[in-house]
Structure 1
Amino acid sequence: MTIADLVCLLLVVPLLIATTVFVVEAGLGAMPRRTHPSSDAGFDPRSAVVLVPAHDEERGIAAVLHAMRAGAPEGMAILVVADNCTDDTAAVARATGVRVIERHDPVNRGKGFALDHGRAALAADPPACVIVVDADTVPAPGALASVATRAIAAGVPVQGSYTIALADTDASTARFSAAAFYVKNAVRQLGAARLGAPALLTGSGMAFPWDIFSALPLATGHVAEDLMLGVRAALDGRPPLFDPSAVVLGSASNDRGTAVQRRRWESGFFQVAGDHAGTLIGRGIGRGRPGMIWLGMHLLTPPLVPLLALDIVAILLLAGVALVTGSGIVALSLLGTLTAAAMLLVVVALIAHGQGAMLQGWRDVPRYVLWKLGLSLAAVFRRERRWIRTDRE
């Protein structure tokens, strides 16, 4: 290998590492787990409370709560926090028979503050476990009992498989966004779990033992509070687990709402990565915990579309160098192979998990890629600093 070959290889090492992380997680998670949901034998539903933060959810919360109650074990309580609502969310929720409390504080806005308010209401008679479910998502039957049982038994947070349900009328942007969301929240989570790495907390369908929930820094206004809380739990020696059998389904938003949601999430992701990735890797090495090291590497891996875009740009540049100088063949071969494997595994994983419908409409992929890259660049250079409600209409 010449010096020029070595230089080319060193220049793409970050991309080689990041793409390898993606390929390993997607490869290990490509095959869904073929087991039944974990047994909840001996689980007392009265020991867990479902905490639902809700902001201006008047139109959809009744249907969500009815479905939630139908899929929850008898005796499991539901507490809705109607947070800074300007509509009839509280009244509509109360009409379904669940407990509702209201919070009004226009200065301190966001999910974390709503959860903190709910925690204060539960503190007088705390449950063994709190399950956080967003007001626009529906846990599948058995999901709530599954995550609560595992959280109580293991003494750590447990994250269910939170993905997006699509309708035939959803636009291509929402469809491809849901596909990327599925790869992130279901496929890569399963792959990381098979490696023994901590799960990421993704917002809905996450269960906490009370001793952990009571100490969480909730009232922060962080734009990705769920991700941050999971990382903090891992650093505190209580690494979250992933429960692939506990499915929680959200609904696709319109293009504007999807853009707001993804920009907020990616802004928070980059912030958490910058704050904690190095610490995770350092502590993992110092304590001999490979799972913590892997979590740090995961945080340093860009989301799917930006990662593939960076890979393709680097491949084109390396191909140009190789054509002109004959150098960089090794780097080009390695990165090209990994990039091809990553793209192939996305398709294989979605089909294997029964999500092949998300792959329809390939002619719109270039438009989606440009849209997604714009969001990612905005998340890097103009990060969201405050919570914004996702528009789902």
Structure 2
Amino acid sequence: MILIKNAKINTISNGIIDDGYILIDNGKIKEVGEKINLLYNSEIDVIDCNGKLVTPGLIEAHCHLGLYGDTSSLENNDYNESSEVITPEVSAIDSINPFSSSIEEARKSGVTTVAAGPGSANVIGGQFVAFKTYGKRIDNMIIKAPVAMKAALGENPKRSHGGKGRSPLTRMGSAALMREALFKAKEYLSKKELAGDDISKKPAFNMKHEALIPVLKGEIPMKIHAHRADDIFTAIRIAKEFNLSITLDHCTDGALIAEEIKEEGLNAIVGPSFTHKTKLELANKSFETAKILSEAGIKIAITTDSPVVPIEYLQLMAILAVKEGLSKEEALRSITLNAAEILNINNRVGSIEVGKDADIVIWSGDIFDALSKVKYTIINGEVVYKS
């Protein structure tokens, strides 16, 4: 057991406790309260915070952590299966290297959970997974697999495949390919359901169609890379056609169409904003986007899109969004509970509540002070980093 005492605890879900304690047992949060109202013995490891800030572990809602190594060599690049344009059958779990130094950097910077998966080269790229940033074997680090199905609209599929002389050459080509894959999977699912237990009537096994069944059933969202406003609207159009749950990832032009996104009831994963405008569809990239979307009533998460921005700067991305007007409360939620809710893993992570996983960070100072450092990172009730 671990007792964290004399802490300023930002629970996220139930306000701030100025002088509180957290009791951890068997990897879970057993108690949270003001001061210490229990007796404890020498078998309990005590961490005296001396008034320091305690938050839930930070959550990165969209990245490629562990799929892309420390160098850009082919050997370390496992996040785009770009041999085909439609690859829903591939899963990030088969590419993630738990010994990647970027995963160590994540936990050292207080990032305890990430959603990681394929890049945006393909119109449908494969399965994202949510995992903890500590462990030797990815199977034991997983929170949810799959957590989403990656898809992409806009410039990336055009460049990755159109540049090689194959479809899609245009945005309408990308949309058509996405629809075709979903139509075929829908037909496949219908035949399976009609066949029931009659094996002779079942369609021939198709791994691509099988991978899309959880998307069609609404069990996981389609995580759609979309920067430009027209790409965002295409994503919404296709989602309505197939009754899909989606998230808008990047959402660079979101500030231009915030009212429409709110009306559609969608969530947005915003960023990475700490980069140059390296392509035309990033023309409106701004840290102010998070503020505008949040004030419109849209649930947002902030992303580094690591390795685009190193994962250890997730805290800094939130700070820069605050600099551009996002409230501190929403900024912290965007990298904790909002991210967990968007990923549908908030039953386990995202806030400091009894029964949730003991993923906790103790800071040297205010999390919105860029000079503040992580003193302790705790994952599943185990101290995995101590400065």
Q: Which has the higher contact order (CA 8 A, sep 6+)?
A: 1
Normalized against structure 2, the TM-score is what? 0.26
**Higher percent of residues as helix:** 1
